[in-house]
Structure formats: structure tokens, C-alpha cells
């Protein structure tokens, strides 16, 4: 199993740094980071049933492992690279991810955990927007995957979450350096993640 930048054979210090950033900031990992933050440091209650630990476990299963599992399976079979660099092959994986986020939303709604329910809704919205955009261009999933959750953190925690902007810049630089996306595709991913997440939180995060 390989990432597409490994297939390209990019070498050098810049490629190494960009590769390290890309490996620690794919959308599923960012989902987990933000899920941990919101589960452990929620400004509102997690509801009557969940603890921070159980909230994180649900996030790990439904919003991290499940969405990426088909990609890993197909990459192991040699059908795709781990970046799913072929745009036309991304739709099926996006569709499965949407089902996972719907499941997460329903579970958190049932358990009355509003902080994570709204996060799942935002992930569903961002993934839907990226899937639609993919019909025209290969928008950066890495960028959307940090733009959306980063905006959620800013909405919930305010200026304390401002360092996420550094991550946005780093991911845009990394994806363009690794020749996985143009600058427009990377910045577009950030903007889509920001816009959709802001809309979802403005509508649903009313506490």
C-alpha cells in the first residue's frame, strides 16, 4: 500500500516535511483529534449517558475507522493508492463515508450528546460538498478535512483555537509541494470546509 506521492518518487527535504504533514493530517486523523478535544473539553455536557472515553470510542469507530476502511482494503488489494488520487474513483468512498457520518449523528442524537452530534453533521455536510465538487475538480480532501474541523473548533472555543490556521497553511503547502493538488484545489478545500461547517454550526449549535 502506497500514497500517491510515494509512487511519484518525490525526494528531498521539502518533500519529506510535506510528507510528514500529510501523514499526520489526513481527514480521518483530524476527525479523531477534534473528537478527542470536544469529548474531553466540551463546554457543554456530553449528555446523560456518555463519558469522554465512550464518546471518543464512538468517534473512533464511526468517524475515523469506518470511513477509511474501504480505502485501506482496496489499497491493500492494489486497486487504489491510499490518497485515492484517481478522481473518478473517489465517489464511492465518499458515499460510504456519508453513511458513516449519518450513523454517528444518529448514535450521538440517541445518546443526547449534542456537541458530537453537531460535529457529525458538519462532517456529513463537508463530505457532501467535497463529493459534489469532485465531479468537476479534484478538490483537496486533506484541506477540507482540516478546514471543516478547524472551523468547528473556532466556533466552539473561539480565539483559543486560532492556531488551527497554522495547520491550514501547512496542509495547503504540503499538498501542493507533493504535487497532489494545485493551489486552487487546496485553498478551495479549506474554503469549502470552512463555509459548510460555519453554516452547520450556525444552524445546529444553539447552546
Alpha carbon of residue 67 to chain centroid: 10
Answer yes or no: is 207 within a domain: no
Residue 77 DSSP class: T
Report CA torsion sign: 149, 152, 153, 159: positive
**Residues 66-118: tens digit of each pLDDT:** 999 998 888 788 788 777 777 778 889 899 999 999 999 999 999 999 999 99
In this structure, are residues 121 and 105 in contact, taking their beta carbons and an 8 Å threshold?
yes
For the four alpha carbons of 68, 69, 74 and 75, in that order, the dihedral sign comes to positive
Identify whether the C-beta of residue 18 lies closer than 8 Å to the C-beta of residue 178: yes
Query: 52 is in which domain, residue-wise?
Result: 4-202
Task: Report whether pLDDT(7) > 60.
Answer: no
The verdict on pTM exceeding 0.85 is yes
Please tell me whether residue 32 adopts helix, strand or coil conformation.
Answer: helix
> Which pLDDT does position 13 carry in this prediction?
74
Overall number of domains in the chain = 1
Model confidence at 40: pLDDT above 70 = yes
Q: How confident is the model at residue 9 (pLDDT cuts 50, 70, 90)?
A: low
pLDDT of residue 49: 97
Residue pair 124/63 in contact by the 8 Å Cβ criterion:
no
Cβ neighbours of residue 8 closer than 8 Å, sequence gap 6 or more: 178, 179
As to burial, measured by CB atoms within 10 angstroms (0-12 exposed, 13-18 middle, 19+ buried), residue 178 is buried
Contact 104, 94 (CB under 8 A): no
Amino acid 72: pLDDT: 86
Secondary structure (3-state) at 131: helix
Asked whether residue 81 is domain-assigned, the answer is yes
For residues 140 and 177, what is the distance between their CA atoms, to the nearest angstrom? 13
| Total Cβ atoms within 10 A of residue 55 | 24
Q: Which residue has the higher pLDDT, 15 or 6?
A: 15
Residue 31 lies in a domain: yes
pLDDT of residue 180: 81
Q: In the predicted model, what is the mean pLDDT of residues 166-179?
A: 91
Q: Please provide the average confidence, as pLDDT, over all residues in the chain.
A: 90
In a domain, 68, yes or no: yes
Query: Residue 34: how many CA atoms within 13 Å on its side-chain side?
Result: 32
The label of the residue with cell 478546514 reads: 147
Grid coordinates representing 164 are: 488551527
Q: pLDDT band for 2, please (50, 70, 90 cuts).
A: low
Q: DSSP label at 163? A: T
Q: Which three cell numbers stand for residue 16?
A: 519529506
**Range in 24-33, 86-95, 138-147, 188-197 the model is least confident about:** 86-95
The C-alpha atoms of residue 26 and residue 171 are separated, in whole angstroms, by: 9
Amino acid at each position: 500500500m502506497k500514497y500517491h506521492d510515494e509512487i511519484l518518487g518525490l525526494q528531498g527535504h521539502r518533500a519529506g516535511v510535506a510528507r510528514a504533514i500529510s501523514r499526520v493530517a489526513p481527514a480521518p486523523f483530524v476527525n479523531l483529534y477534534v473528537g478527542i478535544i470536544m469529548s474531553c473539553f466540551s463546554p457543554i455536557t456530553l449528555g446523560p449517558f456518555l463519558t469522554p472515553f465512550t464518546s471518543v470510542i464512538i468517534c473512533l469507530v464511526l468517524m475515523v475507522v469506518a470511513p477509511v476502511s474501504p480505502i485501506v482494503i482496496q489499497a491493500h488489494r492494489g486497486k487504489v493508492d491510499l490518497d485515492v488520487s484517481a478522481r473518478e474513483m473517489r465517489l464511492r468512498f465518499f458515499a460510504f463515508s456519508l453513511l458513516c457520518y449519518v450513523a454517528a449523528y444518529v448514535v450521538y442524537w440517541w445518546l443526547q450528546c449534542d456537541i458530537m452530534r453537531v460535529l457529525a453533521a458538519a462532517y456529513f455536510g463537508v463530505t457532501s460538498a467535497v463529493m459534489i465538487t469532485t465531479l468537476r475538480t479534484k478538490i483537496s480532501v486533506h484541506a477540507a478535512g482540516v478546514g471543516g474541523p478547524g472551523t468547528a473548533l473556532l466556533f466552539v472555543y473561539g480565539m483559543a483555537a486560532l492556531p488551527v490556521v497554522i495547520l491550514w497553511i501547512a496542509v495547503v503547502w504540503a499538498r501542493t509541494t507533493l504535487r497532489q493538488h494545485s493551489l486552487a484545489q487546496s485553498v478551495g478545500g479549506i474554503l469549502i470546509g470552512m463555509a459548510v461547517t460555519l453554516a452547520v454550526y450556525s444552524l445546529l449549535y444553539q447552546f
